[in-house]
Amino acid sequence: MYELNQVSEHCFYIQSPAKIGLVKLNGKEVCLIDSGNDKEAGKKVRQILENNNWNLKAIYNTHSNADHIGGNKYLQSQTGCKIYVPTIESAFIKTPVLEPSFLYGGFPFKDLTHKFLMAQESDVEVLTENNLPNSLKSTDLKGHFFDMVGYIHNDGVIFLADCLSSKAILDKYKITFIYDVKAYIATLEKVKQMDAKIFIPSHSDATENIKELAQYNIDTINEIADLIVKFLNGPMTFEKLLKSLFDYYKLQMTPEQYVLVGSTVRSYLSYLKNDRRIEFLFIENEMYWRAL
């Protein structure tokens, strides 16, 4: 873990729970794409920088989930680097309690206010074309989170953030976190059309061919959507539906899984409602969902 892997003349990634991209800007200066899940990840990244006599100029965050920004504060305090992030995501990084609050749908209880769901705040600026190096450009990858982006390097390397999951993760957990299901599918279709020498997803192996994995993610989403519609052949509350999905996929409920999977299932319900496959109704002051 935390090995440095070179994939082109200027591009590297650091193997970690959420891959960290590293781009050489010149002989001494580098930038990072994301920063790892916590302060310890930041320390390991700093050691890599020091071992290679590199100076960290900037961190470009793909989005604001804690496992991608956890090293921000430490690395910024140690190096003085700038941090750039898309518009909506910047609010979550400046005010980290927004993430567990958003996931829970209210003020989060203490079991949700830990580094897995709430990173330390860091000082960030909104990402624009003007603060990207000439060798990098951003590309919209909305769906997983509000305003997520990926980064494309002139060497033919694309850093894909969390726009797809590995086959192993999908086979084990099935329901991975998604904020906007329709946008997520559109992003996957976009990724299928991308050309690159190598793709670097955050939670899957670097690969020269991303099309098959992108389609596997789409197929998994459609499977889950169809299963939800099947479960809703009669009126069902959200809590009952959530339990049915956990039981079907043999998942174990925890506070973290309740908010992450629960938020995702609500997103599926919105997607299916907007697509006119399901509807809601109220019976004796309880909200129910059912298939049309």
- Extract the runs of DSSP E, i.e. beta strands, from 110-173: 125-126, 136-140, 149-153, 157-161
Do residues 160 and 152 make contact, with C-beta atoms less than 8 angstroms apart? no
Do residues 156 and 210 make contact, with C-beta atoms less than 8 angstroms apart? no
Average pLDDT of span 172-184: 97
- Reported as a pLDDT band with limits 50, 70 and 90, residue 195 is very high
- Reported as a pLDDT band with limits 50, 70 and 90, residue 31 is very high
In this prediction, residue 197 carries a pLDDT of: 98
> Rounded to the nearest 5°, which phi and psi values hold at 155?
-70, -5
In this prediction, residue 230 carries a pLDDT of: 98
- Reported as a pLDDT band with limits 50, 70 and 90, residue 73 is very high
In this prediction, residue 192 carries a pLDDT of: 98
If phi > 0 it is left, if psi is from -120 to 50 it is alpha, else beta; for residue 185 that is alpha
Average pLDDT of span 108-136: 97
pLDDT in tens, 80-98: 999 999 999 999 999 999 9
Across all residues in the chain, what is the average pLDDT?
Answer: 98
Average pLDDT of span 229-256: 98
Distance CA 288, CA 279 (A): 8
Q: State what percent of residues in the chain have pLDDT above 70.
A: 100
Average pLDDT of span 136-144: 98
Average pLDDT of span 43-67: 98
In this prediction, residue 251 carries a pLDDT of: 97
Neighbours of 239 (CB within 10 A): 10
Neighbours of 54 (CB within 10 A): 17
Distance CA 281, CA 267 (A): 17
Q: Which residues pair with 27 in a beta bridge?
A: none
In this prediction, residue 164 carries a pLDDT of: 97
Distance CA 226, CA 207 (A): 30
Q: What does the chain come to in residues?
A: 292
Residue 272: CA count within 13 A, CB half-sphere: 26
Distance CA 157, CA 148 (A): 18
Rg of the Cα trace of the chain? 20
* Greatest pairwise CA separation for the chain in angstroms: 68
In this prediction, residue 184 carries a pLDDT of: 98
Read off the DSSP letter of residue 109: P
Supply 31's token pair. Answer: 């930038």
Distances (CA, A) of 138 to 156, 157, 162, 204, 249: 13, 12, 14, 20, 36
Distance CA 8, CA 11 (A): 5
The domains of the chain, with CATH numbers, are 4-162 (3.60.15.10), 223-291 (1.10.10.10)
Distances (CA, A) of 17 to 3, 5, 20, 36, 276: 12, 14, 9, 8, 38
Distance CA 82, CA 101 (A): 27
